[in-house]
């Protein structure tokens, strides 16, 4: 039986918090960019607009996949299944907390 190692668990928790915060910062930056895109690029709508938006979607999905699932998938494949599931769980929990805080801010600031 493996002994519980709290220092390893704290390192996983810190990595999860950093990943969640990086995801939050990126999503915030993209949200701010999209809310001001018409000011930056002007109100014109060209054939490049859907291409740009879809490219942003593909990039964003890839980046979020790496931040949320990249390391857990690598650890899981390497046989570190418990650590991988802990990292994924902590990351998802941190993202949920950030989501709740964001919706709370929306309610408070309305």
Query: What pLDDT is recorded for position 94?
Result: 98
From residue 98, give the alpha-carbon distance in Å to each of 7, 20, 28.
24, 8, 11
Q: What is the mean pLDDT of residues 77-82?
A: 97
Query: What pLDDT is recorded for position 1?
Result: 42
Q: pLDDT digit string (tens) for 25-70?
A: 999 999 999 999 889 888 887 889 899 999 999 999 999 999 999 9
Query: What pLDDT is recorded for position 3?
Result: 53
**55-61 long-range contacts, Cβ below 8 Å, gap at least 24?**
56/30, 60/26, 60/27, 60/30
In the chain, domain spans? 6-108
């Amino acid at each position: 039986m493996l002994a519980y190692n709290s220092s390893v668990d704290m390192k996983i928790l810190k990595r999860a918090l950093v990943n969640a915060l990086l995801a939050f910062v990126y999503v915030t930056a993209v949200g701010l960019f999209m809310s001001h895109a018409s000011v930056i690029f002007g109100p014109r709508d060209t054939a490049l607009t859907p291409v740009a938006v879809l490219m942003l979607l593909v990039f964003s999905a890839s980046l979020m996949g790496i931040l949320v699932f990249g390391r857990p998938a690598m650890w899981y494949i390497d046989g570190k299944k418990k650590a991988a599931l802990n990292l994924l769980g902590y990351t998802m929990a941190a993202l949920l907390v950030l989501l709740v805080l964001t919706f709370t801010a929306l309610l408070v600031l309305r």
